[in-house]
A and B are shown apart, each in its own frame.
Chain A
Amino acid sequence: MTDKKKLGNFTSENAPEYEDVLQCMRCGFCLPTCPTFSLTGRERSSPRGRVALARAVSEGKLEFTEAVKEEAFFCLDCRACTTACPSGVRAGEVMEICRSQAHQFFPLKHVSKSFREFVLQKMLPNPGLLETSMLPARLYQKLGIQWLVRHSQLLKLGPEWVDKAERMIPELHPPLRPQLADVIPAEGEQRGRVAFFLGCIMTLMYPEVSRQTVRVLTHQGFEVVTPKEQKCCGAPHLTEGDRDTTKLIAQHNLDLFMALDVDAIVTDCAGCGAALKEYEELLEEAGEHDKLATFRGKIKDVSEFLAEQGLRTEDLKPVEKIVTYHEPCHLCHAQGISKQPRELIKAIPGIVFREMEEASWCCGSAATFSLKYTTESQQILDRKLENVQATGAELLVTANPGCHLQLAWGLKQAGLKQEVVHITELLGMAVSG
C-alpha cells in the first residue's frame, strides 16, 4: 500500500477521494431516482445527502458515526443516481468505500470477524470449496447466510429474514462449473471465440440458466472457453466493504482471463459484469494500465455482446409469449446497458413485448439488502410487482440472479402468475433442439 494522506476523519486505508465528493453540486437531480429517498423522504438517505455526509467526514466536520455507517449499508448501491447525475458523481461507489470504512471504525467482535473472513476470504474466492456440498442447508453457509444469522444482531436483522432467505432459494440443480467442458465448439459458421465468466450465484443457484447462456452463445456461432480456475468476481466483498480481498481476487481473474486468446469475456450476471468492468479503477494502483484497459474492453454482458454482434435469427423458432423486461440496476445503471436486451427480446419471432413503468427502478434485492432491510425491500418490491402486473405479461425477463431471486419470490408470494426468466433462457426457448 502506498502511503496516503489522511482525508479528514476517514482512515487512510480505502478512503474516498476528496475530488469525488466535491464533484456533487447538490442540484438534486438524483433525488427522484433514489428508491431509499423515495421510501423515507429523508435527505440523508438520498444520494445527495449521502455524498454530503461523506464530504463532511472528509472535511473533518463529522466523525464517521453509526449513522454514516447505517446510510452506507442502507444505500441499495443500485446506481440509479449515477445514471441521473449530469455532474458524474458516483454516490454508490462512495458508499461502497464507506462500507469498507465502516468495518475499520466498527470492527466485528472476534468470532464474528473470523466467520466473516472465512466466508468472504476463503469460501467465495474458492469455487471448489463452494461446490463440495449441495445440500441447501450447507449452501446457506456457503453463501454466507449463516454468517448473517450469527450477525443478525450486529446488522440489526429482524427474525423474519431467516424464513425469507429459506423460501427465496430456488430448486437446486448440480452446479454448472464442473460440468462445462473447457472449450465448447461453435455451431454453424464460427463468428468468434469468447471466454465465459461464470458467476458463483449463477453456477450454484441458476446452473440451468447459464447452461442456456452457453447454448445460445454456441448456437450464435461462438466458441466458448470456460477457465475452471476463475474465482468470484469480488462483488460480494465490495458490497460488504472488504476491498482488500476484492483486489486479490480481481488480480487473479485479470491474469487468468488475459492469458486467454479470446475476442471477449462474456458474463450472464449483471452484478459480475459491473464488478469486472470496475477492476480498472480497483486495481489502478498496481499500474498495469494497458492490460486493465484491454480487459475492461473485453468484458461484455451477454446482451451487450449479442446485440453488438447481431443476432442470427434465421433458424430461431417463434416464442408465442407476452413478455416484459425488468432492468437489473447493475446492467442499466452500472453498465449503461438498456436498449440491447430490448433489441434482443424484440428480435425473437412471436414475442409480444410490453414495456413496464419504471423498468429501471430497483427491485429491492440489492445483494443482502433484502435480508437486512426486509420491510423496506418489500416496499420497493411491491412497487415493482405492481408495474409488472399492469403489463399483463406472461413472462418477466431479467438478467441478474439477485433480481431473479427477489422477483420470483415476490411474484409467488403475491400469487401472481408471471414466471421469471433470464434473457438467455428466453433466447434458449427460440433455439431449436
Chain B
Amino acid sequence: MISDTAIQHLIDKLGKENVITAAEDLLVLGYDSTPGLHATPDLVVYPTNSEQVQSVMQVARDYKVPITPRGSGTGLSGGSIPVDGGIVICLSKMNKILEIDEENLTATCQAGVVTLDLFNAVAAKGLFYPPDPGSQKISTLGGNVMEDAGGLRGLKYGVTRDYVMALKCVLPDGSLLSTGGKSVKDVAGYAFKDLLVGSEGTLAIITEITVKLIPPPQDKRTFLAYFDDIRIAGEAVSKIIAAKIIPSTMEIMDKATINCVEDYVKIGLPREMAALLLIEVDGHPAMVTEEAEGVERILKEVGAAEVHIAKDAEEAASLAAARRTALSALARVSPTTLLEDATVPRSMLAETFALIERLTKKYALTVGTFGHAGDGNLHPTVLCDERDADEMKRAHAFYDELYEQVLAWGGTVSGEHGIGIAKKKYLARQIGPGGVAVMKRIKQAFDPEGILNPGKIFTDGQE
C-alpha cells in the first residue's frame, strides 16, 4: 500500500485531478490487450510534463513503491500491468507534438502522442513516419518505443527502433537522462537510446522522443492474392524476397482470419480461400512498375488462385485497414484470443504454416493465423475460452511445442510484442542463462531497488 504522505506529495506536485484513487478508475487501469492479465494499482497518476514524471519517480524512489508506466494500454505482452500494485503512471496526457523539423527531417513529441496523430501531422508537411503498429489509431509513441513496435510496413521500412534518434527519460533514481540527438551519426559512448528502445518500461520512463522522418513514396501498387493452400502463400513470400523485391507490405491471413475480418468489414474478402496475401510495393513510379510486374509473375508461377490489384488508393487503404482489425476480429469467435508472436527466418515460412496446421490438429484447437509474412513474423492465435481449463492447457502446450521448433529454426519468441509477463518463460530458452544474466545486470545498474515495472521480462527464479 502507498502511504497518505506519499499521496499528498503527489497531489502537491501534480494537482488533485491528476492523482486518481477511486476504485473504479484503478480497476480499469490495470489491464492492456493481453488476455487473462489484470492487476489493480494502488494509485494512478497523469503527469502533464517531464518535471512531473520526475517528481512521481522521486516519490516512488523515496517510498520504495513499485511504479509501472502506461500509455493507451494496447500492449500484447502485459508490459503495462502493475503486477505488484503501486503506482501506474499514465503518459496519455503528455500528448503534444513539440516540433516537426523540416530541415533535419525529424519530429519531436511527448511520449503520450498517438502514433497516427504523429503520422498525420508529418504527412501534412509532406513527410513520412513509417512505423504503423496494428493499434496505431490509439497506441502511443512512448509505448511503441518501449516495446519496439513493428507494423505492416516493417519489411521495407523497419520498425520503431529504426526511427528513434533521441530520447529524454527519467531514470529510477529520479534523475533525467537525455540520449541521442538530431545528428545522423553519433558514436559518443554507449548507445543508451538503443538500449532503451524495446526495454519494456523496465529501465526508464520516456518523456520525449525525437524520430527520424523520410520523404513518402511517390507511388504504390497494392495486390491481393488468394491461395488454395496456405503453404503456397508461404512459398510466394520466400520467392518474392529471393527475387530481390522488397515490398513495403506483405501480410498474410488464413481462412479463419479472412472470415472473421470479413464478418466485420464486409468488403468481399474470399471466405472459401485457404489464405490471402496483401502485398504493396512502393517507391519511384518506374521502380513500382518493375517490382509490380515481378510480384505478379511470381504469384502466378507459384500458383496463386487469384490475383487482384487495388483500383485506387482508397481501396488499398481499406484493405490495409481490414488487415489491421485481424486480431480484434478473431475475438468475435470466442471469449478468449491467445495471440502469439513467433518469428522465423523467411525461408522457413511454408514449414511454419505446415507446423501450425499439424499442431492445431494435435491439440484439437481452433487457430487463426495472420501476420507480417514478409518479416517471417506470424501471429498464430488460439481461439478459446479462458473458463475451459483443459482447452487452456492444450493451448499452452501448442505454443510450447511451436516455440521449440521456432527456436530450433533460429527464430524468436517475440517479433514485436515484447516479453512482458506473457512470454517470460520462453526468454531463457532463446537467449540462454548467460544472456539472461547480462540482461539482469543491466537492469540492476539502472534500477538497483527494482521499483520500475517489476515482474516483467525475467521469471521469478531468474530475479
Residues of A within 8 A of B (CB): 19, 22-29, 31-32, 41-44, 48-49, 52-53, 56, 61-62, 65, 67-68, 71, 85-88
A29 to B135, CA, bound (A): 7
Whole-angstrom distance between the Cβ of B67 and the nearest chain A Cβ = 18
Among B22, B73, B263, the one with the most A-chain Cβ atoms within 10 Å of its Cβ is: B73
Stretch at the interface among B23-31, B389-397, B409-417: B23-31
Q: Give the chain B neighbours of A68 by CB distance below 8 A.
A: 24
Asked if A43 meets B138 with Cβ closer than 8 Å, knowing A29-B328, A32-B114, A87-B331, the reply is: no
Nearest 10 pairs of A and B residues by beta carbon = A86-B328, A87-B331, A86-B325, A25-B331, A49-B28, A67-B24, A86-B329, A22-B335, A27-B328, A43-B28
The reply to whether A86 and B332 contact each other, CB–CB distance below 8 Å, is yes
Q: Which residue of B lies closest to A46 (CB)?
A: B28
Q: Give the chain B neighbours of A87 by CB distance below 8 A.
A: 328-329, 331-332
A-B contact pairs, 13 of them (CB 8 A): A25-B35, A25-B327, A25-B336, A26-B31, A26-B73, A28-B74, A31-B72, A41-B46, A43-B29, A56-B27, A62-B24, A67-B23, A86-B328
- The answer to the question of B93 belonging to the interface, with a C-beta cut-off of 8 Å to chain A, is yes
Contact with A along B328-370 (1 / 0, CB 8 A): 1101100111000000000000000000000000000000000
Q: Give the chain B neighbours of A42 by CB distance below 8 A.
A: 25
Asked if A52 meets B28 with Cβ closer than 8 Å, knowing A28-B73, A29-B138, A88-B264, the reply is: yes
Whole-angstrom distance between the Cβ of B115 and the nearest chain A Cβ = 11
* Cβ-Cβ contact count across A and B, 8 Å cutoff: 90
Of A31, A41, A49, which contacts B138 at CB under 8 A? A31
Whole-angstrom distance between the Cβ of A49 and the nearest chain B Cβ = 4
Q: Give the chain B neighbours of A19 by CB distance below 8 A.
A: 335
The reply to whether A52 and B335 contact each other, CB–CB distance below 8 Å, is no
A52 to B24, CA, bound (A): 10
Whole-angstrom distance between the Cβ of B149 and the nearest chain A Cβ = 14
The reply to whether A29 and B137 contact each other, CB–CB distance below 8 Å, is yes
The reply to whether A44 and B28 contact each other, CB–CB distance below 8 Å, is yes
- The answer to the question of B92 belonging to the interface, with a C-beta cut-off of 8 Å to chain A, is yes
Whole-angstrom distance between the Cβ of A377 and the nearest chain B Cβ = 21
The reply to whether B138 and A26 contact each other, CB–CB distance below 8 Å, is no
Asked if A28 meets B329 with Cβ closer than 8 Å, knowing A52-B27, A88-B264, the reply is: no
Chain B interface size range: 20 to 34
Among B93, B263, B327, the one with the most A-chain Cβ atoms within 10 Å of its Cβ is: B327
A68 to B25, CA, bound (A): 10
Asked if A53 meets B328 with Cβ closer than 8 Å, knowing A19-B335, A67-B22, the reply is: no
Whole-angstrom distance between the Cβ of B260 and the nearest chain A Cβ = 8
The reply to whether A28 and B138 contact each other, CB–CB distance below 8 Å, is yes
Of A25, A41, A56, A62, which contacts B33 at CB under 8 A? A25
The reply to whether A61 and B328 contact each other, CB–CB distance below 8 Å, is no
Q: Give the chain B neighbours of A67 by CB distance below 8 A.
A: 22-24
Q: Give the chain B neighbours of A27 by CB distance below 8 A.
A: 33, 74, 135, 327-328, 331
Known contacts A27-B331, A86-B328; 16 additional CB pairs below 8 A are: A23-B331, A23-B335, A25-B33, A25-B337, A27-B135, A28-B73, A28-B135, A29-B135, A29-B138, A43-B28, A43-B29, A53-B28, A65-B23, A86-B264, A86-B325, A88-B332
A48 to B135, CA, bound (A): 14
- The answer to the question of B251 belonging to the interface, with a C-beta cut-off of 8 Å to chain A, is no
Whole-angstrom distance between the Cβ of A333 and the nearest chain B Cβ = 14
Asked if A65 meets B24 with Cβ closer than 8 Å, knowing A25-B328, A31-B138, the reply is: yes
Q: Which residue of A lies closest to B27 (CB)?
A: A56
Whole-angstrom distance between the Cβ of B330 and the nearest chain A Cβ = 8
Contact with A along B2-30 (1 / 0, CB 8 A): 00000000000000000000111101110
Q: Give the chain A neighbours of B132 by CB distance below 8 A.
A: none
Asked if A32 meets B137 with Cβ closer than 8 Å, knowing A25-B337, A26-B31, A62-B23, the reply is: yes
Of A29, A41, A62, which contacts B27 at CB under 8 A? A62
Whole-angstrom distance between the Cβ of B249 and the nearest chain A Cβ = 19
Q: Give the chain B neighbours of A71 by CB distance below 8 A.
A: 24
Whole-angstrom distance between the Cβ of A54 and the nearest chain B Cβ = 11
- The answer to the question of B32 belonging to the interface, with a C-beta cut-off of 8 Å to chain A, is yes
CB under 8 Å from chain A, chain B span 31-79: 31-33, 35, 46, 72-74
Q: Which residue of B lies closest to A63 (CB)?
A: B23
Q: Give the chain A neighbours of B328 by CB distance below 8 A.
A: 25, 27, 29, 85-87
Among B28, B74, B264, the one with the most A-chain Cβ atoms within 10 Å of its Cβ is: B28
Q: Which residue of B lies closest to A22 (CB)?
A: B335
The reply to whether A53 and B331 contact each other, CB–CB distance below 8 Å, is no
A155 to B333, CA, bound (A): 39
A68 to B261, CA, bound (A): 32
A67 to B23, CA, bound (A): 9
The reply to whether A32 and B31 contact each other, CB–CB distance below 8 Å, is no
Whole-angstrom distance between the Cβ of B47 and the nearest chain A Cβ = 13
Q: Give the chain B neighbours of A49 by CB distance below 8 A.
A: 28
Among B24, B32, B93, B331, the one with the most A-chain Cβ atoms within 10 Å of its Cβ is: B24
A211 to B402, CA, bound (A): 66
A85 to B265, CA, bound (A): 10
Whole-angstrom distance between the Cβ of A132 and the nearest chain B Cβ = 44
Q: Which residue of B lies closest to A66 (CB)?
A: B24
CB under 8 Å from chain A, chain B span 191-238: none
A333 to B25, CA, bound (A): 27
A25 to B74, CA, bound (A): 10
The reply to whether A26 and B32 contact each other, CB–CB distance below 8 Å, is yes
Q: Give the chain B neighbours of A22 by CB distance below 8 A.
A: 335-336
A126 to B332, CA, bound (A): 40
Among A23, A26, A67, the one with the most B-chain Cβ atoms within 10 Å of its Cβ is: A26
Q: Which residue of A lies closest to B37 (CB)?
A: A26
Q: Give the chain B neighbours of A29 by CB distance below 8 A.
A: 135, 137-138, 325, 328
Q: Give the chain A neighbours of B139 by CB distance below 8 A.
A: 28
Whole-angstrom distance between the Cβ of A30 and the nearest chain B Cβ = 9
A287 to B69, CA, bound (A): 50
A24 to B28, CA, bound (A): 13
The reply to whether A86 and B331 contact each other, CB–CB distance below 8 Å, is yes
Whole-angstrom distance between the Cβ of B122 and the nearest chain A Cβ = 18
Q: Give the chain A neighbours of B73 by CB distance below 8 A.
A: 26, 28, 43
Q: Give the chain B neighbours of A25 by CB distance below 8 A.
A: 33, 35, 327-328, 331, 336-337
CB under 8 Å from chain A, chain B span 61-114: 72-74, 92-93, 114
Whole-angstrom distance between the Cβ of B421 and the nearest chain A Cβ = 15
A87 to B381, CA, bound (A): 14
The reply to whether A41 and B74 contact each other, CB–CB distance below 8 Å, is no
A43 to B28, CA, bound (A): 6
Q: Which residue of B lies closest to A42 (CB)?
A: B25
Q: Give the chain A neighbours of B331 by CB distance below 8 A.
A: 23-25, 27, 86-88
A428 to B32, CA, bound (A): 51
A265 to B11, CA, bound (A): 58
The reply to whether B25 and A32 contact each other, CB–CB distance below 8 Å, is no
Q: Which residue of B lies closest to A18 (CB)?
A: B335
The reply to whether A32 and B138 contact each other, CB–CB distance below 8 Å, is yes
The reply to whether B27 and A53 contact each other, CB–CB distance below 8 Å, is yes
A62 to B40, CA, bound (A): 12
A52 to B73, CA, bound (A): 13
Whole-angstrom distance between the Cβ of A74 and the nearest chain B Cβ = 12
Whole-angstrom distance between the Cβ of B100 and the nearest chain A Cβ = 21
Q: Give the chain A neighbours of B335 by CB distance below 8 A.
A: 19, 22-23
A163 to B63, CA, bound (A): 51
A31 to B74, CA, bound (A): 11
Q: Give the chain B neighbours of A41 by CB distance below 8 A.
A: 46, 92-93
CB under 8 Å from chain A, chain B span 294-329: 325, 327-329
Of A26, A28, A43, A85, which contacts B25 at CB under 8 A? A43
Asked if A28 meets B28 with Cβ closer than 8 Å, knowing A23-B335, A87-B331, A87-B332, the reply is: no
Whole-angstrom distance between the Cβ of B114 and the nearest chain A Cβ = 7
Q: Which residue of B lies closest to A70 (CB)?
A: B24
